[in-house]
Amino acid sequence: MELFLPALAAILLFALTFANGANDVSKAIATLAGAGVTTVQRAVLWGTIWTVAGSLFGLVWGHALIKNISSSIYVESHDFVLAVAVSVILAPALWVALATWRKWPVSTTHAVVGGLVGVGLIAYGANAIDWETLGKKIALPLLASPLMAIVLAYFLTPLLERVAHRFHADGDDDPLTEGARKPRLTVDHLHWLTSGLLSFSRGLNDTPKLIAITLPVLMLSPGEVPVWTYLWAATAMGAGSYLAGRRITKVLGFDVTKLSHAQGFAANLISTVLVLGASRLGLPVSTTHVSSSSIIGLGLVNKRGVNMKTVRAMVLAWIITLPAAALFAILSYSALAALTGSA
């Protein structure tokens, strides 16, 4: 067991963070490609670099999230059961990987919560789950973040667009002024910046949560997080982002909606503020919900209409993620418990 459990934890953490990177890197950089600021490949590379940086910065800011996600699900601690520990990680990894293959942008955070609840229900019973704390510390931030993003986008977009137009947002993306040849800041530069910051905040917000559910396999408490877990998670998340991130990026960038450069800047800035603020407060919000809802808010304020078919598809994916991950967890636990004789 001395080498088996760390090796198993490393494999499961890699699979989960790889799947997260593949599905989630698009949330911050799809507008770069969709607005024609850059190519899909370059946008994904940009998002990957900043995601890895945020993931590594979790060593500084990530402890609050690790304590929150790992101590807010069950009423009391339980003895180590391998089938439980593995199923909690396997369920969200499988669901997010399936969603990426099907080109569904989903919330890894919801999948993690679904896995924890599903395993808790079958392994310990409904009374073992701390429903009140789960609602206050996890469900409420997850449900409130889309509404906050829509409201902020609705009220702040006019101001942010005016600011963007002061930086030559009228379709002139040459970074040098003709004749004078003086460097100038354009809205495209701001778009690159906000996309990078949102990618950074996503890596910072997601990495501690994914490490937290791996700790039971290592038989460690939230206060005993090894440094290697952050390095390993950052590597896997970066690999998933760069190697498989184009799939969802193309969907969000070209198949969902079209945004101007100024609107892309506004959406990314609002999402960045919300996700970074949540990370600092230890609240596990979903970057998927925040980013998508910011774009919906932009569509409402600009009266250009919202593609309700796309919105319905997004909302459906959000709704089924938690129960689907819970079902995956129940099936995984049942199979593993039968194999290991721990049922």
Q: Is the pLDDT of residue 168 over 60?
A: no
Q: Is the pLDDT of residue 222 over 70?
A: no
Q: For position 268, what pLDDT does the model report? A: 80
Give the integer Cα–Cα distance in Å for 169 and 14: 41
Tell me the residue type at 173.
Answer: D
pLDDT band for position 178 (cuts 50, 70, 90): very low
Helix (H) and strand (E) counts in the chain: 15, 0
Q: For position 284, what pLDDT does the model report? A: 65
Burial class (CB in 10 A: 0-12, 13-18, 19+), 193: middle
Q: Is the pLDDT of residue 242 over 50?
A: yes
Q: Is the pLDDT of residue 290 over 50?
A: yes
What's the token pair of residue 72?
A: 């807010």
Give the integer Cα–Cα distance in Å for 30 and 253: 5
Least confident of 153-162, 226-235, 300-309: 300-309
- Of residues 97 and 175, which shows the higher confidence score? 97
Nearest 5°: CA angle at 54, between 53 and 60? 105
129: number of Cβ within 10 Å? 17
- Of residues 75 and 99, which shows the higher confidence score? 99
Q: Is the pLDDT of residue 155 over 90?
A: no
Radius of gyration of the chain from Cα atoms? 20
**Helix (H) or strand (E) run with residue 107 in it:** none
- Of residues 132 and 234, which shows the higher confidence score? 234
pLDDT band for position 324 (cuts 50, 70, 90): very high
Q: Is the pLDDT of residue 253 over 90?
A: no
Q: Are 59 and 232 in contact (CB under 8 A)?
A: no
- Of residues 65 and 265, which shows the higher confidence score? 265
Q: For position 1, what pLDDT does the model report? A: 59
Give the integer Cα–Cα distance in Å for 240 and 43: 14
Q: Is the pLDDT of residue 61 over 70?
A: yes
Q: Is the pLDDT of residue 183 over 70?
A: no
Q: For position 79, what pLDDT does the model report? A: 76
- Of residues 205 and 114, which shows the higher confidence score? 114
Provide mean pLDDT across the span 5-11: 93
DSSP 72: S
Give the integer Cα–Cα distance in Å for 34 and 251: 9
pLDDT band for position 171 (cuts 50, 70, 90): very low
Q: Which residue has the tokens 């679904």?
A: 114
Q: For position 184, what pLDDT does the model report? A: 66
pTM of the model: 0.85
Long-range contacts of 218-227 (CB under 8 A, 24+ apart): 218/5, 218/6, 218/9, 219/5, 219/80, 222/63, 222/66, 222/67, 222/70, 222/71, 223/67, 225/62, 225/63, 225/66, 227/59
Q: Give the tens place of pLDDT for each residue, 37-58.
A: 899 999 999 999 999 999 999 8
Least confident of 48-57, 141-150, 208-217, 229-238: 141-150
Q: Is the pLDDT of residue 161 over 60?
A: yes
% helix / strand / coil in the chain, to the nearest 5? 75, 0, 20
Give the integer Cα–Cα distance in Å for 208 and 246: 24
Q: Which residue has the tokens 């960038």?
A: 253
Reduce the DSSP state of residue 23 to 3 states and report it.
helix
Q: Give the tens place of pLDDT for each residue, 15-28.
A: 999 999 999 999 88
16: number of Cβ within 10 Å? 33
Q: For position 75, what pLDDT does the model report? A: 72
Q: Mean pLDDT in the chain?
A: 83
Q: 167-189 burial by CB neighbour count: b if 16+ within 10 A, else e?
A: bbbeeeeeeeeeeeeeeeebbbb
Q: For position 177, what pLDDT does the model report? A: 40
Q: Are 211 and 230 in contact (CB under 8 A)?
A: yes
Q: For position 283, what pLDDT does the model report? A: 67
Q: Are 260 and 171 in contact (CB under 8 A)?
A: no
